[in-house]
Structure 1
Amino acid sequence: MATMVAGSNAALTAENPGLGGVMVAMGWQIVPSNGPQSELTSLAIVCGEDGRALSPEHLVFFNQLTTAGGGVRFTGGEEGAPGATHDQEQIDVEFGLIPAEVAKIAFLAYVDPEVRGPGTFGAVRSAYIRLARPDGSELLRFDVPELHGDRIKAMMFGELYRHRDDWKFRALGQGYENGLAGVSRDFGLDL
């Protein structure tokens, strides 16, 4: 297993021949408070060469569980399951089902203002994204730095992207102070 830092890249399929897909898991802890607590929601955005979502149907989250063709599939979290790593959210990616026009898949989490009111990443600790083989063995992990969380309302944890005929992963930890509005603008979505 490799531990990554922000901005680093890791080869997946080139260094793991026969790897047909990965489980992308995201996790975090929320510091309890007496007032409203931040509630995070994760999502994956499937993008073309221009870095923007191919269409609104290329957004995967709890209310839209899969892309057409099933290449990217939201599976929820496994917290509390036997042997679980306490991931909050899991998204399965099957490389063979990803259309050729897909250049990258971005993995984000945002503070959902509709669940418990407005909030920030200020109460979020130990956020991470990890990639594992279908058998559950971990390939890599990125622990997201806790920087200016009191101003951040959405966070891009990382992205899978094509490099020639292979898939790679880039660790990012890019925060959005403007939350879903910034994500919508960057990815060409109406969120």
Structure 2
Amino acid sequence: MAISLVKGQKVDLTKGNAGLTRITVGLGWDPAEIESKGFFGKKKSKANIDCDASALLLDGSGKLTKEKNLVCFHNLKSPCGSVVHTGDNLTGEGDGDDEQINIDLQRVPADVERVLMAVNIYDCENRKQDFGMIKSAYIRVLNPANNTELIRFNLTDSYAGMTALVVGEIYRHNGEWKFNAIGEGAHAAHINILARRYT
């Protein structure tokens, strides 16, 4: 049974799951309904929002040591091959994960201590969009060997005005891997801008 986390909570991934060497990080969200005035009165519609999930491979001091250690829609695989993005979802419509990132924990280089997960809204400035227009956002970790959900963190805070979210991180601790539920909003119009914070 999956462990449901709250913001700031940390939990073991590999210690309690013997033999776990690969994980899938699933991120999901839905566009919220927006109300607008039309010719025949008020109408509800869903915003067309393109969210992009990313992973930043950071060293022990929290730095992005290589530019290609940013795995996102324009760089789907880390140089070491340990972190692979499965591809861009343009709308967030439908059930289940909108985007997934696969991590081979055994192949993560020794100089990478943390894999930080973030979500940005594509072209947010031109489209005048922010995370106040998103609902039901979550991050979860699965065991891809049997598709079992290990942990889930539902992002329930208000992120109105924010254009990026740092949702969680996978990190090393005493030879094991753990998960930290972060859930912090940020102002970053593009993942490359957010990544600069870690250089």
**TM > 0.5 fold call:** yes
State whether residues 77 and 90 of structure 1, in contact with CA within 8 Å, keep that contact through their aligned partners in structure 2.
no
Stretches of structure 2 lacking an aligned partner (at least 5 in a row): 35-44
State whether residues 111 and 118 of structure 1, in contact with CA within 8 Å, keep that contact through their aligned partners in structure 2.
no
State whether residues 26 and 87 of structure 1, in contact with CA within 8 Å, keep that contact through their aligned partners in structure 2.
yes
Identity %: 29
Amino acid at match of 2:17: N
- The Cα shift of 1:69 comes to 2.3
Rg larger for: 2
Q: How many residues align?
A: 183
| TM-score, normalised relative to structure 1 | 0.87
Q: Over residues 94-149 of structure 1, what are the superposed CA-to-partner deviations in whole Å (9 max), with x where a residue is unaligned?
A: 011101000100000011117962311011000000000012100000001232x2
- The Cα shift of 1:63 comes to 1.5
- The Cα shift of 1:32 comes to 4.2
Amino acid at match of 1:61: C
Amino acid at match of 2:97: D
Greater Cα offset, 33-42 or 95-104: 33-42
Greater Cα offset, 34-43 or 120-129: 34-43
Give the 5 Å matches for 1:1-191. Answer: 1-33=2-34, 37-76=48-87, 86-113=96-123, 117-134=127-144, 135-147=146-158, 149-180=159-190, 183-188=194-199
Report the 3-state secondary structure (helix = DSSP H, G, I; strand = E; otherwise coil) of the residue aligned with 1:76.
coil
| TM-score, normalised relative to structure 2 | 0.84
Compared with structure 1, are the counterparts of its residues 23 and 115 closer, same or farther at alpha carbon in structure 2 (3 Å cutoff)?
Answer: farther
State whether residues 45 and 107 of structure 1, in contact with CA within 8 Å, keep that contact through their aligned partners in structure 2.
yes
State whether residues 27 and 89 of structure 1, in contact with CA within 8 Å, keep that contact through their aligned partners in structure 2.
yes
State whether residues 38 and 118 of structure 1, in contact with CA within 8 Å, keep that contact through their aligned partners in structure 2.
no
Amino acid at match of 1:16: N
> How far apart in 1 are the matches of 2:180 and 2:25?
13
Compared with structure 1, are the counterparts of its residues 124 and 95 closer, same or farther at alpha carbon in structure 2 (3 Å cutoff)?
Answer: same
Greater Cα offset, 109-118 or 154-163: 109-118
Stretches of structure 1 lacking an aligned partner (at least 5 in a row): 79-83
